[in-house]
Structure 1
Amino acid sequence: MSLTRTLAAVAALGLAVGAASYTPPAAAREYVSVTVGTRPPPPRFERVPPPRAGYVWAPGYWNWARGRYVWVDGHWYAARPGYVYRAPVWRPYGHGWRFERETWHRDRHWHR
């Protein structure tokens, strides 16, 4: 075998081993479930600002922090083409209330 063929074979073997041992970094996803025994207060009135091109309005909501409900004001998020924003919500769960955090879901009607 010539030196060129030997080097090519070693390079190919190195690439194969490297590719086989590669694991992509895990997506930074964590989910913390919050369940509270008391119903959240009714939402506060917020004046929704006029629409802004390229942004999505996220309405305010009650969050659970340090043993009590705390209001989080509404704010703007940069729009994510191909995704739909879903605001956080409290849902009945067993004998309490479970908080579902805000999420972005793929828009199945969106096409480039």
Structure 2
Amino acid sequence: MNFMRPLFTLRQVLLVPLALAALASTPVFAQPPMYIQQAPPPMRAEMMPAPRPGYAWDNGHWRWDGRGYVWAPGHWQPMRHGHRWMPGHWQARGPNWYWIEGHWVR
């Protein structure tokens, strides 16, 4: 018998935290639409960067943080073959406003 052999291999020691993290993760669910009674501020002028192959530019927009509007700067969206990017936007519904998420359309 070899008493000097380690009880656990390095691989087993590294896999335990990974397995626990996988079990502790929670799935992300779509949130129901949030209706805001205050209209968003006017759009900010934002410089669109030079075209980037394989990506579509998603303009910056105002987002609601629970207390007020905060600016979310524009960013690149990886392209989907045969689709075009429909940017998100605020839409009025009666006296309320709600956010329509940006998405890809065929």
User: What is the TM-score of this pair, normalised by structure 1?
Assistant: 0.65
Q: Name stretches of at least 5 consecutive residues in structure 2 with no aligned partner.
A: 1-27
Letter in 2 for 1:43: M
How far apart, in 2, do the equivalents of 1:93 and 1:58 lie?
24
**Computing the radius of gyration over CA atoms, which structure comes out larger, 1 or 2?**
1
Q: What's the offset of the Cα at 1:31?
A: 4.2
Match of 1:101 in 2: 101
In the alignment, residue 92 of structure 2 is paired with which amino acid? P
Shift of 1:29: 6.1
4+ runs deviating over 4 angstroms: none
Name 1:85's counterpart in structure 2: 85
2:34 aligns with 34
Counterpart AA for 2:75: H
C-alpha distance 84-31 of structure 1, shift in aligned 2 (>3 A): farther
Residue 66 (structure 1) shift: 2.4
Percent identity for Structure 1 against Structure 2: 33
Distance 1:36 1:58, change over 3 A: same
Give yes or no for the alignment of 1:56 onto 2:56: yes
* Alignment correspondent of 2:76: 76
Q: Structure 2: how far apart are the matches of 1:75 and 1:32? A: 24
Note the aligned Cα RMSD (angstroms). 1.5
Cα distance per residue 1:16-72 (max 9 Å; x no partner): xxxxxxxxxxxx762420111111001111010111111100000000012210100
Q: Distance in 1 between matches of 2:32 and 2:83?
A: 22
**How many equivalent pairs are there?**
79
SS in 2 for 1:44: coil
Residues 63-100 of structure 1: CA distance to partner in whole angstroms, max 9, x if unpaired?
00122101000011111112211111111112111111
Q: Which runs of 5+ in 1 are unaligned?
A: 1-27, 108-112
TM, length-normalised to structure 2: 0.68
